[in-house]
Chain A
Amino acid sequence: MLFSLILPKLNEHMRSARIEIIYAKPNNQLALGGKLFDISIDLSSSFAQNCPPISYHRVVLREKLWLRTPLAKPGEYWEPDACIALLSNEPTESLNATIARPARIMAAGIVYHPEMWSGTHA
């Protein structure tokens, strides 16, 4: 079965998130609790602000799946509810198959770390 990785809406004011780092490699199996990616959310992203309210979050898997194709890259902005990767429960599942459901994930606020995209490009 094919599963979509949906960017969660982590704040009611969230309009987009920047992909800060992708941990998982394509065609690798991820365990329960596998790290997928870190994102940053700038609540003022629609227009520049002197002190933008930025928070950082890690998204991890709540089930054992294969990462097939990441659709997002570090540094890119994506809207909530967008599909940013495809996963499957079998490594050979066709990527043309119908998406069965969104993958089960959880997210938590994390402390900023310099390996993030904004740390290496600022």
Chain B
Amino acid sequence: MNEIPLILGPLLVPGYVVKKSGIYWLYPDNYLCRKNQVVGFCNISLEAFPDAKGDTSPFAGEAELQVAFASPVAGHLRIDHETSFGGYLNFIGAQIWDARTPIAYLTPAGATGDRPLKNPMELNLLMLAGKLMTGLANYGTSLLPGWHSYMRAWWKGSASPPKTLLTLGICDAQGPVLGDHAAFLEFFEEADFACHLVIVPNELLVPCAPYLIEQFFRTEQDFNLIADDIRQNILHGPVTTTPEDYFFAGCLLTALQDSPVRRTFDIIAKDGYQKSLQPSYILLSSNAEPLQILRHKKLRYHIRIYPFRIEQAGAPACRAWLNQAFEIVPRTIADIKADYIRLLNAFRSHTNARLIILNQMSTSGREDLAFYMPFDAPMGNTLVHVAAKEMNLMLEELQTENDISVIDADAMAAEMGAAHHLPDGVHQSGLMQAQVRAEILRLMR
């Protein structure tokens, strides 16, 4: 058989020894893998040389580091099962990174003959890194398994500096970028240019424009005032705190503290590591923009929290604080447009990143409205699909007047059939995610 030995190739981090766990293989022997399809992964850890001066790791603060492997050509895979140790040895960095020993063999698709190929082929390495919300939330046994304040990925072999896509949206933006394995795999398989993807999950606060603007401009002094208020009114407030309240308050403070737009990211590229990548594109969901938002009565900052999150969190002291300390402020579509413009100007003061916004599904085949009398005017404040149409028109205007891109998820869903591919208007099918992803890739190309 024309088998090609597959090797990991070098992974150099100056000042560190790279160690790896045993390998998790995602597919069985003889699996016909596609070009750039991730077939396995391992955890890695960096061990500083004894004479290293300080922490110069490109992953400072990112406790979760993994490397996923993909074949550079399509073919049938034969796995060396000795590479998977099982148990904790598939979790901890038990072995020094070995660049040259084959870990699998590949028979290229369509290959004939019976001549073994001696020259090994380097696997493409997809670097995965995540900053954990807390060091206690490290689960370790799947792709990017922890609870993250952000996570990111890039091909290690990129010769050119990659374009960084920072996703700050909710599920309709995150899904197409993260893909079915929640580890960016489909995006990297389909991307034909160097890219670096960063996602900031929205575990507690919904990333709407007022929150993102305030997060961007928040000073340490502002943050300390918020933290003091939380300390006094939640942790030492009138309602007895539970462990859930501490989680809720910690999660809230983490979300309010740093703007990911101001952050820079280091990557390991082809020859060692490269520092300070800034976002080239920022992806947002217009579905994150509410028509009513919570504003802190005293400190005047805005947040949006889904009611189900408050229900799920089960944090009585935080719930009481939210009810007492915040007021509901209505927002019109014009307010949302003004917020988007402020957001655009804020981000442009710091980065050249281009804003990409996903629009909203604006129709439903299940609605049978014969008249509008039962719904209070203005209709855009009451009927979800009228609000969505007004939002989409506003985004069109915003696109015409400013240098941004809008992805027409509304048209895609209507064409594909929203009942099957976007049943609740936010959560897409795999096929629709692929279409949205293709559009993001086209805009980034």
Seen from chain A, the residues whose Cβ lies within 8 Å of a Cβ on chain B are 10-13, 32-35, 42-43, 48, 51-56, 58, 60, 62, 106-114, 118-119, 121-122
**CB atoms of A58 and B375 under 8 A apart:** yes
What's the nearest-Cβ distance from chain A to residue B106, in Å?
36
Is there a chain A Cβ closer than 8 Å to B393's Cβ? Answer: no
Chain B residue numbers with a CB within 8 Å of A43 are 423-424, 427
B311-365 CB contacts (< 8 Å) to partner A: 311-312, 319, 328, 364
Interface flag for B49 (CB, 8 Å): no
- Check A55–B425 contact: CB distance below 8 A: yes
Contact A53 B383 (CB under 8 A): no
Q: Which of B308, B370, B382, B425 contacts A106 (CB 8 A)?
A: B370
Assess whether A11 is in contact with B291, with CB atoms less than 8 Å apart.
no
Residue on B nearest A106 in the bound complex, by CB: B368
The reply to whether B424 and A33 contact each other, CB–CB distance below 8 Å, is no
Contact A122 B385 (CB under 8 A): no
Q: Name 29 A/B residue pairs within 8 A (Cβ), A-sorted.
A: A11-B419, A11-B423, A11-B424, A12-B423, A33-B371, A33-B373, A34-B374, A43-B427, A51-B171, A52-B308, A53-B423, A54-B308, A54-B424, A58-B375, A107-B368, A108-B367, A108-B384, A109-B383, A109-B385, A109-B425, A111-B291, A111-B384, A112-B292, A113-B292, A118-B307, A121-B311, A122-B307, A122-B311, A122-B319
Which one of A48, A51, A53, A60 has the greatest number of beta carbons of chain B within 10 Å?
A51
Cα separation A118 to B292 with both chains bound (whole Å): 15
A48 to B314, CA, bound (A): 14
Among candidates B308, B312, B366, B384, residue contacting A110 with C-beta atoms closer than 8 Å: B384
- Note all chain A residues with C-beta closer than 8 A to B375: 58, 108, 110
Cβ-closest chain A residue relative to B294:
A114
Q: Which residue of A lies closest to B290 (CB)?
A: A112
Q: Whole-angstrom distance between the alpha carbons of A10 and B156 in the complex? A: 47
Q: Are B384 and A60 in contact (CB under 8 A)?
A: no
A118 to B371, CA, bound (A): 27
Q: Please give 8 more A-B residue pairs, beta carbons under 8 A apart, in addition to A33-B374, A51-B171, A106-B368.
A: A10-B366, A51-B427, A107-B368, A108-B384, A111-B384, A112-B292, A118-B311, A121-B311
B381 interface residue, CB < 8 Å from A? Answer: yes
**Quick check: is B426 within 8 A (CB to CB) of the other chain?**
yes
**Number of CB contacts from chain A to chain B under 8 A:** 81
B387 within 8 Å of A (CB atoms): yes
Interface residue B26 (Cβ < 8 Å from any Cβ of A):
no
Determine whether B369 belongs to the interface, using a CB cutoff of 8 Å to chain A.
Answer: yes
The verdict on B226 contacting chain A, using a C-beta distance below 8 Å, is: no
Shortest CB distance A98–B (Å)? 27
Which residues of A lie under 8 Å from residue B63 when comparing CB positions? none
**From B364, B387, B426, contact of A53 by CB (8 A):** B426
Complex Cα spacing A118 to B161, Å: 48
CA distance A15 to B402 in the complex (A): 43
A58 CB to closest chain B CB, in angstroms? 7
Q: Check A53–B424 contact: CB distance below 8 A.
A: yes
| B277 at the A interface (CB under 8 A) | no
Check A114–B292 contact: CB distance below 8 A.
Answer: yes
Q: Which residues from B are CB-within-8-Å of A54? A: 306, 308, 424
Bound Cα distance from A32 to B280, whole angstroms:
54
Residue-wise, chain B 238-274 has the 8 Å CB interface mask toward A (1 for contact) of 0000000000000000000000000000000000000
For A113, list chain B residues within 8 Å (CB).
292
Distance, CA A12 to CA B366, complexed state (A): 9
Rounded to whole angstroms, the CA-CA distance of A12 and B419 in the bound complex is 8
Q: Answer yes or no: B39 CB below 8 A from chain A CBs.
A: no
> How near does chain A come to B16, taking the closest CB pair, in angstroms?
34
Q: Is B310 an interface residue (CB 8 A)?
A: yes
